[in-house]
A = this chain, B = another copy of it.
Amino acid sequence: MSIKKTVGVLGATGSVGQRFILLLADHPNFELKVLGASHRSAGKKYADAVNWKQTELLPEFAQNIVVSECKADAFKECAVVFSGLDSDYAGTIEKEFEQAGLAVVSNAKNYRRDTDVPLIVPIVNPEHLEIVGEKLEAAQKAGSTKPGYIVCISNCSTAGLVAPLKPLVESFGPIDLLTATTLQALSGAGFSPGVPGMDVLDNIVPYIGGEEDKMEWETKKILGAVSEDKTTVDLLSDEDIRVSAQCNRVAVSDGHTECISFRFKNQPPPSLDQVKKSLRDYVCEASKLGCHSAPKQTIHVLEQNDRPQPRLDRNRDAGYGVSVGRVREDPVLDYKMVVLSHNTVIGAAGAGILIAEILLAKNYL
How big is the A interface, by class?
A: 35 or more
> Would you list which residues of chain A between 185 and 225 have a CB under 8 Å from chain B?
186-187, 189, 191-207, 209, 216
> With the chains together, A198 CA to B344 CA distance in Å?
14
> With the chains together, A186 CA to B198 CA distance in Å?
7
Q: A186 touching B201 by the CB < 8 A rule? A: yes
User: Which stretch in A82-90, A130-138, A308-316 binds the other chain?
Assistant: A308-316
- Please give the distance in Å from A209's CB to the nearest CB on chain B: 8
User: Which stretch in A159-167, A241-249, A286-294 binds the other chain?
Assistant: A241-249
Q: B55 touching A311 by the CB < 8 A rule? A: yes
**Chain B residues, CB < 8 A from A181:** 181, 246, 259
Q: A177 touching B309 by the CB < 8 A rule? A: no
**Chain B residues, CB < 8 A from A312:** 53-55, 203
User: Which stretch in A22-30, A61-69, A114-122, A331-339 binds the other chain?
Assistant: A331-339
**Contact code string A308-328 (vs B, CB < 8 Å = 1, else 0):** 111110011000000001100
Say which residue of B183, B196, B205, B246 sits within 8 Å of A204 (CB atoms).
B183
**Chain B residues, CB < 8 A from A326:** 206-207, 246
**Chain B residues, CB < 8 A from A251:** 197, 201-202, 250-251
**Chain B residues, CB < 8 A from A246:** 181, 259, 261, 326, 336, 338
> With the chains together, A253 CA to B55 CA distance in Å?
14
**Chain B residues, CB < 8 A from A332:** 177-179, 242-244, 333
6 closest A-B pairs by CB: A181-B181, A246-B259, A207-B306, A193-B193, A203-B311, A195-B197
Please list 8 pairs of residues, one from A and one from B, whose beta carbons are closer than 8 Å in the complex, sorted by A's number: A186-B198, A195-B198, A204-B250, A204-B309, A206-B308, A206-B326, A244-B331, A248-B259
